[in-house]
Structure 1
Amino acid sequence: MKNAQSKTVVFITGAFVHHSCWDKWKTYFEANGYKAIVPPWPHKNKSPEVLRNSHPNAEIASNRLRELTEYFASIINGLPEKPVLIGHSIGGLIVQLLLQKGLGSLGVAIHSVPPQGIFTFKLSFLKAGWGPLGFFSSTKKTFFMSFAQWKYAFTNGMDCEEQKEAYYQFAIPESKLIVRDTITSAAKLNFESPHPPLLLTSGSDDNTIPASLNYSNYKKYKHSNSITEYKEFKGRNHFVLGQSTWKEDAHYILEWIRSQANSY
């Protein structure tokens, strides 16, 4: 007997941005009958301004991917039903890791940081990621993007005033260890195992996670009886959640979720 579809959505935030980046998405999904939950990362349950002023923040700097994945797992285990999981960037990777553990009814990974073993030498990816990796600097201190780095890694192609507004509204300090953990066993997936339905989305203009990297991620999945789908959106950068086209993306994702009713 197939399961009724979950009406609970857990949004999982990526690195470098405040969880309020999901506010419009939360409202949209709630208006469509879902209970939407947006948990802040550990040590980040304060306003963006307070978090920026705390840089370098030793508590945030201590965050690690394995522990962060378990943190979200504990939240999900406390819910009355297996939720729909929607994550962006490292949040997308966490969605993939949680689905592997059987902790979601289905998942959407938006511009997901790829699991261990998937890499590209595309210049934009290397340029966007070099600073956050924080090589030759202390991992006890957070990394905080300059506005120039933000413009390249997140909001490329947008109007300068829009880029500036997004920077001061959402940019926060981040753990360098979290970024480094994405190339370790903490980010390992078994692509041949069965999993709940998964949609991976990408953006043609994303410098941080190029669409080709998301497509490689998608193509790694091998279990023939599990649903894995891919969608590339034109003109989307890494700030996809806050671009003017966000509702078009949210609508596509919502319709995909609805199309999976009773499929798993």
Structure 2
Amino acid sequence: MTTKTATPVIFIHGLWLHATSWNTWAERFAAEGYAPIAPGWPGDPDTVAEARETPESIADHGIDDVVAHYAGIIRDLGTPPILIGHSFGGMIAQKLLGQNLAQAAVAIDAAQIKGVLPLPLSALRATLPVFKNPANKHRAVSLTPDQFRYAFGNAIPADESDALFEQWTIPAPGKPLFEAAAANFNPHSPAKVDTGNQTRGPLLLMTGGRDNTVPEAVVRATLKQYRHSEAVTDITEFPGKGHSLTIDSGWTEVADTALTWLRSQGL
């Protein structure tokens, strides 16, 4: 009798959250028979405390660096994983899926890819802590509790937002935001995704209806970028959720929706 090997799942965090913010998701997916891992971005220390103490280790990593980092992790696995990414992690997951390095991907409130034109004012305000100084392209930038509450925690009680800020936030490299902002003016932008790939695995886009950082209009415009591919591309909306939907008290609804969708794809 042969034992079926558990399908690997790689969780990819976005800006300002540490990889350990995926711990509850990893436990849920392991209980469902998957083999989850949540590696950090290049330069990310092992703990939130270390990341806050050494922001220079995180600084100046761009989109291509992060994609190459996770592509190396995938090669070491020896089998294509399922990818689940949040925010910029959702963009990274889409790029890797477009390169046929994954079986499937779930992109949750994914940062805007090249070709997506809507730039809502709330998204500009959420990222202003980075863009207010051009030198931040090569630095790591931290949020204040108030900035986090606007960018992540606007759909949850203020005390919950503040607790999540204390538990999970780390400095974030400014470079990916500058790269994404210039994507539609750069024919070779690292934010470009192979949305026309016909042979890639299925993709689920998730959007929080109250997300200030990646508003629903951005995610729906992302969906349109895939219109020339016949590969499975689905979208799910959580009307009352903001950008904190992967870490706040309602995370189980999001995780279970991802699990149900993966099962529907035979994964």
Pairwise same-fold verdict (TM > 0.5): yes
Q: Which runs of no fewer than 5 residues in structure 2 stay unpaired?
A: 184-188
Following superposition of structure 1 onto structure 2, how do residues 32-181 of structure 1 map, counting pairs within 5 Å?
32-54=32-54, 57-181=55-179
- The CA RMSD measured in Å over matched residues stands at 1.7
Secondary structure at 1:78 match in 2: helix
Q: Which runs of no fewer than 5 residues in structure 1 stay unpaired?
A: none
Q: CA-to-partner distance for each residue in 1:3-26, whole Å, 9 max, x for gaps?
A: x99711011111111111101100
Paired amino acid for 1:81: T
Question: 1:51 Cα deviation (Å)?
Answer: 1.7
Paired amino acid for 1:251: D
Question: 1:148 Cα deviation (Å)?
Answer: 1.1
Asked if 1:221 corresponds to 2:226, the answer is yes
Which residue matches 2:213?
A: 208
Aligned length: 257
Greater Cα offset, 43-52 or 22-31: 43-52
Higher relative contact order (CA 8 A, sep 6+): 1
Greater Cα offset, 154-163 or 86-95: 154-163
TM-score normalised by structure 1 residue count:
0.92
**Matches of 1:51 and 1:94, distance apart in 2:** 21
Q: CA-to-partner distance for each residue in 1:208-242, whole Å, 9 max, x for gaps?
A: 00011101101210245310000111211101111
- Cα gap change, 1:136 to 1:80, in 2 (>3 Å): closer
**Contact 1:12 1:38 (8 Å CA) reproduced:** yes
Which residue matches 1:22?
A: 22
Paired amino acid for 1:180: F
Identity within the alignment, %: 32
Q: CA-to-partner distance for each residue in 1:88-126, whole Å, 9 max, x for gaps?
A: 000000011001110000110000001112132322111
Greater Cα offset, 166-175 or 215-224: 215-224
Q: Which runs of 4+ in 1 moved over 4 A?
A: none
**Contact 2:90 2:110 (8 Å CA) reproduced:** yes
TM-score normalised by structure 2 residue count:
0.91
Secondary structure at 1:137 match in 2: helix
Paired amino acid for 1:191: T
